[in-house]
Homo-oligomer: A and B are copies of this chain.
């Protein structure tokens, strides 16, 4: 027997930071997960911990380094952390740092932004996964739990019908998804903030403007548009579960459902995934 693929680290390091400016405060909230790979065979086979940096220490490292180095994007902080772990520990061949950022919205009253009060943002999180090994760092950024919905310009027709098919074709349905997107950057010295806003806009704009013939069709269109708009993106992966909204059968009660009343269901759900790459 021998050890195959393995990794260890600290997950769910929940960190909040107040950045204090002269006349207002910023508030940031992230969850950081560190996973380390390397020469850990004897830890497994012999219980030899001499090459093990405890996950508790990893956690402390995240909090300590956040003080000076979490001042900008999660990508920059992730790059710093991954570099830190790999360069200080020769036995670590690869560090993977995943960061999710929760959004907070500054309160406004009469058009004036408040200096230090916030409401919780949407379910959407901004994400990054920075991986660093001997080949250098790679940044894959994205978003998750972004709820998207359009009330028209979506259909599903001309599919296979077999003996177990009862689904009706429709040229007008609700399309809704809890979108997860990630994209690999070709470089690490980038304006991650501007790129994020630009890519997110490409995603939203394509979703809304596209005449969708299926989830797959929309998924590909979004990935293609992000690649067209952003040279520094190598590939785009999308996860688009189909959050079904099924028309309620009003006809059994003598009424017509003009595509207006729906049952929102959680399970079962269609699950569509795809990656769009450059030729």
The closest CB in chain B to the CB of A226 belongs to B1
Instruction: Report which of B164, B270, B276 forms a contact with A2, defined as CB distance below 8 A.
Output: B276
Tallying the copies of this chain within the complex gives: 4
Instruction: Report which of B25, B151, B162, B275 forms a contact with A116, defined as CB distance below 8 A.
Output: B151
Docked complex: A52-87 residues within 8 A CB-CB of B = 52-57, 59-61, 63-64, 66-67
Beta-carbon contact of A242 and B55 below 8 Å? yes
**Chain B residues near A277 (CB, 8 Å)?**
1-4
Cβ distance A98 to chain B, nearest Cβ, rounded Å: 11
Give the CA-CA distance A117 to B150 in the complex, in Å: 4
**Chain B residues near A44 (CB, 8 Å)?**
216-217, 219-220, 274
Q: Write the A4-46 contact mask toward B (1 if CB under 8 angstroms, else 0).
A: 1111111111111111100001010100010100001001111
The total of chain A residues at the interface (CB under 8 A) is 135
Beta-carbon contact of A118 and B150 below 8 Å? yes
Beta-carbon contact of B1 and A35 below 8 Å? no
Beta-carbon contact of B27 and A63 below 8 Å? no
Docked complex: A112-164 residues within 8 A CB-CB of B = 114, 116-124, 146-153, 156-160, 162-164
Beta-carbon contact of B253 and A164 below 8 Å? yes
A18-B260, A160-B51, A164-B57 given; A120·B123 CB < 8 A? yes
Give the CA-CA distance A120 to B147 in the complex, in Å: 5
What are 26 A-to-B residue pairs whose CB atoms are below 8 Å? A1-B223, A1-B227, A2-B277, A3-B275, A3-B277, A6-B273, A8-B271, A10-B269, A11-B267, A14-B264, A17-B260, A35-B271, A44-B217, A49-B160, A55-B271, A56-B165, A57-B160, A59-B268, A89-B160, A107-B204, A107-B208, A114-B208, A119-B122, A120-B124, A120-B146, A120-B147
**Known contacts A60-B166, A67-B260, then 20 further A-B pairs from the complex at CB < 8 Å, ordered by chain A residue:** A2-B278, A2-B279, A15-B261, A18-B260, A47-B214, A49-B156, A49-B214, A60-B164, A63-B250, A63-B261, A64-B253, A67-B250, A105-B122, A118-B149, A119-B124, A119-B147, A120-B178, A163-B253, A266-B266, A266-B267
List residues of A whose CB falls within 8 A of some B CB: 1-20, 25, 27, 29, 33, 35, 40, 43-57, 59-61, 63-64, 66-67, 88-89, 104-105, 107, 109, 114, 116-124, 146-153, 156-160, 162-167, 174, 178, 201, 204-205, 207-208, 212-217, 219-220, 223-224, 227-228, 235, 237, 241-242, 245, 248, 250, 252-253, 255, 257-279
